[in-house]
Amino acid sequence: MSQQSQYIHSGEIVEKIGKILGYFPGFRSLHADGRLYRGVFKANEAAKLYTRAVHLQGDEIPVTVRFSKGGGDPYAHFSSTVGMATRFYLPDGCVTNLVMLSQKLFIARTVEQFMDLLEAGLPKEPGGPINKEGLQHFFAANPNSGAVFKMRAESLAPVSFAHTEFNAVHAFYFINAESRPTAVRCHWKPALGIKGQSPEVLAAQPTDILYTELTGRLANEPVHFDLELELAQEGDPLNDATVLWPENRQRVVIGRLTLTAPTTEEEIGDKVMNHDPSLLTDGIEPTDDPILQIRRGVYEVSAAHRSGGWRKCPFTGNTSAS
């Protein structure tokens, strides 16, 4: 997929998401409601075996994390899907992002399949409900997408962000000092352990419950996550975000994230905070996953809509990305 083709369908994708989930001016198209927190990340010695990325060499790196609820309605209750977008502030003034979900997979393997999914879910009349019949037909014709939808529907909801594992649905290449690549999927493992609850129980609580719980927790103690690499073996798909790798794949902890307090866009100095997952730095490279590559354009269109027009966002210095 060429650089330019990232943008071909971006506007159409954002438009269809709005028709399905509703339009909420000033908010992201997806993961509309979120809160920001600040802290630091420190890599361990194992990280250097896999990557030369500057933020993974052992120095303490400032970070911000945006936790968010899934969906496009910022006023909705929490569901079983929540997000964790981490921004690392590099010594040279640039940034790089690591975007994860509480879910393990995305719901389409190609841009065309994703667009067909959105088309199937479009309301039969403007402002109407999601076309569930259309989605049922789509999932029947696209079993890979249907299997992910079923897995998500059956997953537990969080009891706290601090007890939630987060997963990068895309694979990346980590490149070490000897230029040796290792294909990985990244995970944030909560130091306090993983806990879940029924989505119905969570949905019956206040719409900001997970944010207030985390803010209250941070008032008493930091919250920690370990960054874990899942290492691919030959034959594992690197360009299909709808497929899990076998459970016996080796996992290596390469560092710890420590969150200490809430923050805001104003305090950070970036009112847009576009967490493009393809905004990378030397030592980490994208795979040819078409969903990963289309996300830059979609994120930029969404950012333009919520910020009142196209503009240059802060913190977009010399980073390498596809």
Instruction: Encode pLDDT of 72-116 as tens digits.
Output: 888 999 999 999 999 999 999 999 999 999 999 999 999 999 999
Where is 189: in which H helix or E strand?
strand 181-190
pLDDT of residue 154: 96
Residue that wins the pLDDT comparison between 167 and 18:
167
pLDDT digits (tens, 9 = 90+) for 160-179: 999 999 999 999 999 999 99
Catalytic site includes residue 224: no
pLDDT of 188 strictly over 50: yes
Reported as a pLDDT band with limits 50, 70 and 90, residue 299 is: confident
Least confidently predicted of 94-103, 211-220, 285-294, 313-322: 313-322
Does the structure show a pLDDT above 60 at 315?
no
Average pLDDT over residues 8-33: 83
Q: 5 falls in which pLDDT band (50, 70, 90)?
A: low
- Split at pLDDT 50, 70, 90, the class of 297 is confident
Q: Name the residue ranges covered by the structural domains of the chain.
A: 4-307
Q: What percent of the chain has pLDDT over 70?
A: 93
Phi and psi, residue 78, nearest 5°: -65, 150
- What 3-state DSSP class applies to 37? strand
pLDDT in tens, 120-165: 999 999 889 999 999 999 999 999 999 999 999 999 999 999 999 9
- In this prediction, residues 211-218 reach a mean pLDDT of 98
7 is in an annotated binding site: no
Tell me which of 229 and 321 has the higher pLDDT: 229
Lowest mean pLDDT among 47-51, 116-120, 224-228, 299-303: 299-303
CB 83 within 8 A of CB 70: yes
User: Tokens standing for 212?
Assistant: 């207030």
Longest dimension (CA), the chain: 57
**4-307: CATH, from 3.40.50.10490, 3.40.50.720, 3.40.47.10, 2.40.180.10:** 2.40.180.10
Which residue among 31, 55, 187, 305 is the active-site one?
31
Task: Measure the CA–CA gap between 257 and 223, rounded to whole angstroms.
Answer: 8
Q: What's the pLDDT at 311? A: 45
Q: How far is CA 240 from CA 15, 28, 299, 320, in A?
A: 24, 25, 20, 22
pLDDT given for residue 317 in this prediction: 36
